[in-house]
């Protein structure tokens, strides 16, 4: 089992450009979560899907952030008109256990907005 | 608002000592409390977890002590090793089907 795969590992964009981050969850896992990690805020919840359906996007900044899960094997997080404050490590996690909700994280995508 | 708090951003202990990492939470509906360990360049990985019906969970050198009345918990790392140097995140979750809330992490350094 390859674990959660995130691409790209590093992305540098200019202010105002668009960034798309990809996540491939562990095969058979029914839930996919996106978190943003910064030194100051730690791990902030963004959004999650269960069985491909969006369940909770209460952590998503409005207007510029969107997430999709078009099939069970991948999810995307898109940030439009990127700003320097969007610079962070974006972590994707998947889970198969609804009872405990144990999360399996990918290595993250480090986004740098210049 | 920060629903899960870790009081120390960093902690340094000598090899062989017991490291104690503290965590508190606000929501009494939380019932599952995992601790994650993260090394640089990697994602967090589950280390040990406890449910609110228990007051202690032990796994090798790692022990969680849980106080439901006070809404706090601590992770004890016995006989700390340099390889334990990492960032530790306390997390909490309510009823099944919701997401985990994380603290800001404690960076542990174990000095040989």
Q: Do A43 and B96 touch (CB under 8 A)?
A: no
Please give the share of chain B, as a percent, with pLDDT higher than 90: 88
For residue A34, the domain's CATH number is 2.60.40.10
| Confidence band, pLDDT 50/70/90 cuts, at residue B94 | confident
Residue of higher predicted confidence among A96 and A1: A96
Which residues on chain A are in Cβ contact (under 8 Å) with B101?
45
Partner A contacted by B34 (CB < 8 A): yes
Contact yes or no for A103/A95 (Cβ under 8 A): yes
pLDDT digits (tens, 9 = 90+) for B30-43: 999 999 999 999 99
pLDDT digits (tens, 9 = 90+) for A20-33: 999 999 999 989 99
Q: Do A43 and B105 touch (CB under 8 A)?
A: yes
State residue B85's pLDDT score: 98
Choose, out of B38, B99, B102, the residue to mutate when testing the contact with A (most A CBs < 10 Å). B99
pLDDT digits (tens, 9 = 90+) for A66-109: 999 999 999 999 999 999 999 999 999 999 866 667 899 999 99
Between the alpha carbon of residue A42 and those of residues A54, B2, B14, the distances in Å are: 23, 10, 26
Half-sphere exposure of residue B64, counting CA atoms within 13 Å on the CB side?
27
- Could you list the residue range(s) of the whole structural domain that residue B49 is in? 4-111
Domain count, chain B: 1
Residue A114 clears pLDDT 80, i.e. is over it: yes
Residue B68 clears pLDDT 90, i.e. is over it: yes
State residue A93's pLDDT score: 96
Neighbours of A66 (CB within 10 A): 14
Domain count, chain A: 1
Q: Find the mean pLDDT for residues B19-27.
A: 96
Contact yes or no for A110/B48 (Cβ under 8 A): no
**Mean pLDDT for all residues in chain B:** 94
- Could you list the residue range(s) of the whole structural domain that residue A26 is in? 5-113
Q: Find the mean pLDDT for residues B78-85.
A: 98
Residue of higher predicted confidence among B1 and A37: A37
């Amino acid at each position: 089992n390859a674990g959660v795969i995130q691409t790209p590992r590093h992305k540098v964009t200019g202010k105002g450009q668009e960034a798309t981050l990809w996540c491939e969850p562990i095969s058979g896992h029914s839930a996919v979560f996106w978190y943003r990690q910064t030194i100051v805020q730690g791990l902030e919840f963004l959004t999650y899907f269960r069985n491909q359906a969006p369940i909770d996007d209460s952590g998503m900044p409005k207007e510029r952030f969107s997430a999709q899960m078009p099939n069970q094997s991948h999810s995307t997080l898109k940030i439009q008109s990127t700003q320097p404050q969007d610079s962070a490590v974006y972590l994707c996690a998947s889970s198969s256990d609804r009872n405990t909700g144990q999360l399996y994280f990918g290595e993250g995508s480090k986004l740098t907005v210049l | 608002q920060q629903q899960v708090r870790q009081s120390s951003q960093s902690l340094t202990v000598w090899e062989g000592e017991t490291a104690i990492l503290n965590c508190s939470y606000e929501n009494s509906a939380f019932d599952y409390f995992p601790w994650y360990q993260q090394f640089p360049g990697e994602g967090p990985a589950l280390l040990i977890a406890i449910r609110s019906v228990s007051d202690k969970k032990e796994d090798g050198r790692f022990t969680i002590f849980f106080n439901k009345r006070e809404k706090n918990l601590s992770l004890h790392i016995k006989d700390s090793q340099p390889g334990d140097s990492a960032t530790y995140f306390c997390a909490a979750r309510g009823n099944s089907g919701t997401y985990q809330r994380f603290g800001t992490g404690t960076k542990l350094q174990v000095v040989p």
